[in-house]
Structure 1
Amino acid sequence: MIAGTSRFIGFWLLAAAIVALVIDGTRTIAASALVWTSLAKTWFQIHAGSLTALQVVMEKNVHPLLWNPAMTTILRMPTVMILAIFAFLFLRIGRPRRDVLE
């Protein structure tokens, strides 16, 4: 059950990574220069309130250093890369078990 759910999430994340790659690809062609959209920009465009709420929660309840520089470094990375990494992790967790032959 966990393996199936993990694969399901992994494939959705992989699909989202491909969509983000296509969007960045079209922007790259339009600008005639390499364009990568950061995770922060993508998250802000989708739901700005949750990004702001996460910042407040991490700075007040966890530790300010966890937000800056740790989380801000991750948020500056390309959306495609972050989604692909998480897709790989979820697909790896959900991979079918191999039978061991003796």
Structure 2
Amino acid sequence: MFRFLARLVGFLLIAAGFVGLVVDGTRSIANTAVMFMPLGELLFAAFPKTFPLIEPAVTRHIHPFLWNPILLNLFTLPASLLAFGLGVLLLWAGRKPVEPIGYLARR
């Protein structure tokens, strides 16, 4: 059941990454410059009230080092490429195990 969910979410993330790449491509063509939507901009558009609360929560409850170099750099990466990467990782995690050679008689 977990493998099925991992593969389903992986395929959905790859599809979302492809759609994001098409949207970024059309935006780049319209502006005559290469433009990607950063993850932070996407999250702010999806969660406008809770996204600004991430910085105080991380710096106060976890550690300020996690916010400045790590999360800020993560939020500037292209969202479509991150969706592709996470989708591929979930597809890899949800793959079927390889049949060992020479143990077919145990079934």
- Show structure 1 runs of 5+ residues with no match: none
Moved beyond 4 Å, runs of 4+: none
Q: For each residue in 1:3-48, what CA deviation from the matched residue of structure 2 results, as whole angstroms up to 9, or x when unmatched? A: 1110011111111101110110110110111111111111111112
Report deviation, 1:63.
0.5
User: What is aligned with 1:36?
Assistant: 36
Structure 2, unaligned stretches of length 5 or more? Answer: 103-107
Match of 1:25 in 2: 25
Q: Equivalent residue for 1:60?
A: 60
Aligned to 2:7: 7
Alignment-mate amino acid for residue 54 of structure 1: I
Q: Which has the higher helix share?
A: 1
Secondary structure of 2:77 counterpart:
coil
Opposite residue 31 of structure 2, the aligned amino acid is A
Distance 2:21 2:73 in 1: 20
Percent identity reads 29
Q: Is 1:78 aligned to 2:78, yes or no?
A: yes
Rounded to whole Å, the distance in 2 between the matches of 1:80 and 1:74 is: 13
SS at match of 2:3: helix
What is the TM-score of this pair, normalised by structure 1? 0.93
| Whole-angstrom CA distance in 2 between matches of 1:50 and 1:17 | 23
Show the counterpart of 2:47: 47
RMSD, aligned CA? 1.1
Q: How far is 1:52 from its partner?
A: 1.8
With normalisation by structure 2, the TM-score equals 0.89
Larger radius of gyration: 2
Distance in 1, matches of 2:13 and 2:7, equals: 10
